[in-house]
Every structure is written in C-alpha cells, then in structure tokens.
Amino acid sequence: MQTQAKPNETRGRYLYAIIAGSGENSYGRLGLNKCPVYTISNGEVSAVVSDVANQKIRPERRHLAAHQTVLKKVMEDYDVLPMSFGIISSGPGAVKKLLKRNRKAIAGQLKRVSGKVEMGLKVAWDVPNIFEYMVNIHPELLDARDRLVSLQNRISQEDKIAVGQLFEELLALDRKRHTDRVEHVLERRCAEIMRNPCRDERDVMKLACLVDRASLDGFEAGVLEAAALFDDNYAFDYSGPWAPHNFVELEVEI
C-alpha cells in the first residue's frame, strides 16, 4: 500500500473504522463523494478516514454504499472496528485524540474481534399465508379461529384481539424454539451469536454470528446441517463476511 499524501487540514475527517497498527495506508478514492481513503495513527492504532466538509452526512444510498465499500476493502488486510455511519471528527489532531482517549476500549474490542468476521443468518417461513400455516400446526389456534368464525356477525373487537394475541404468542414461542435448535448446531462453529429482532411476521430468526475467518467453511456447513432439521416451509439465507457491527460495543468520544 502507498503512503497517503498530506490531506487538506481545513476539512473534517469522516471515520469508517479503527484498525490495529500504525502504518500509513491509502485505499484509493473509495470514500464518500469519491474522496481518497487513508489512515491516521496515534502510534498504536489507526483510524480509517476520508476528508469531508464539516457538516452532517445524510444516510443516502450512495453514502451508505461507500461506507460499506471502504469497510470491505480494509477487511481484506485487517481486523476492523467499524464505526457507525455519520461520525465526523474536526481534523487529524482530533482523530488522534479520539484514538488516545478511547485506547482502552479500542484495545478490548480489537481483541474481541481478532481474526473474526461477522456472518448473518436469516430464517423465514416460506409459506403463502403465515396465519393459516400457524392455524394448521397449532390446534389451539385452530379452535380459536373456528370459534371466531362461528360467531359470524356477533364478532367483537375483543374477540379479534384475543385471537391475534394467541397468534403472536405462538409465533414468539415457535421462533424461540427454532432459534434454540439452530443455535445448538452453530454454537460450536461461532465465537459468539447474537439474536436480532424479527421485523416481519414471516421472520423466524435473524442471527449475527462472529466467526473465525479460517472457519467460514465450517460455518456454512453448520447452516446446512441446521437447515436439514427443518422442512420446506423454512427458507435459510446466510450472508457475509461483514465487518462485525453487531459485536463492537464502542461508544467513541469525539
């Protein structure tokens, strides 16, 4: 990698990630607004940055894409502590102070993700109608639905709410049961597993998995092993490797 020419001192610095080491690296014009990406070091660790105007960066698709492109490039050579989108420091001096001020937390987080990347696993119910599917596998929901239908024009709002609550309760129980089964298979192939919220009715689980770079094949094999425990009503989809966003707990002080 080439040494970066001295940047414009009058502009802010957009932070993409923090990496171990003090080398001066350049990554080309991959940053926001096609700006050059380079490192600023405090002698122990380095921040991956690019020059930006000192103003709020909107989370537009092109900006989010540039942020992820930079992380992907840096990950080719380093373990990274990815920064949240939109963090801007006032200049090189402020970046170095940030690294110094947070050095203990940074060292701990770098140790946590050393040699690891994040993989995502999403499992969803692959059925035409999730309510009808749940009715067919849960007799108590079938009975509640049939009682509701039998009331015909006498159905109250409370009756509808009661059936809806039962549906949500059974959905939550099934999600936990299925997630426990999948985690039991994957836990020996992952350093850590985190459960993220399901935002769609059809979502069974959304897992973030911290995996050794050298063990990605084992993780993929684990996903296939877990999928074999389920029938065709479940769709498994894994993605990555990503920067370990879900496993970096770093509240940097700007």
Q: In this structure, are strands 192-196 and 80-82 parallel, antiparallel, or unpaired?
A: unpaired
Cα–Cα distance for residue pair 67/116, rounded to 1 Å: 20
Segment 176-180 shows an average pLDDT of 98
End-to-end CA distance of the chain: 28
The pLDDT of residue 214: 95
The pLDDT of residue 253: 62
Alpha helices in 33-138 (DSSP H): 61-75, 92-101, 103-113, 130-137
Cα–Cα distance for residue pair 79/75, rounded to 1 Å: 6
**Is 173 part of any domain?**
yes
Alpha helices in 114-156 (DSSP H): 130-137, 139-151
Strands, E, within the chain: which ranges? Answer: 12-20, 26-28, 37-41, 45-52, 80-82, 88-89, 116-125, 192-196, 203-212, 234-242
Segment 88-111 shows an average pLDDT of 92
Residues 140 and 231 in one domain: yes
* pLDDT tens digits for range 38-95: 999 998 899 999 999 867 888 999 999 999 999 999 999 999 999 999 999 988 999 9
Q: What is the band of 191 on the pLDDT scale with cuts at 50, 70, 90?
A: very high
Question: For the domain that residue 194 is a member of, what is the CATH number?
Answer: 3.30.70
Domain of 63 in residue numbering reads as 12-114
Predicted structure pTM score = 0.86
Q: For the chain, how many residues are written?
A: 254
**Is 162 part of any domain?**
yes
**Is 147 part of any domain?**
yes
The amino acid that residue 178 corresponds to is H
| 160 or 110, greater pLDDT | 110
Provide the percentage of residues in the chain whose pLDDT is more than 70: 94
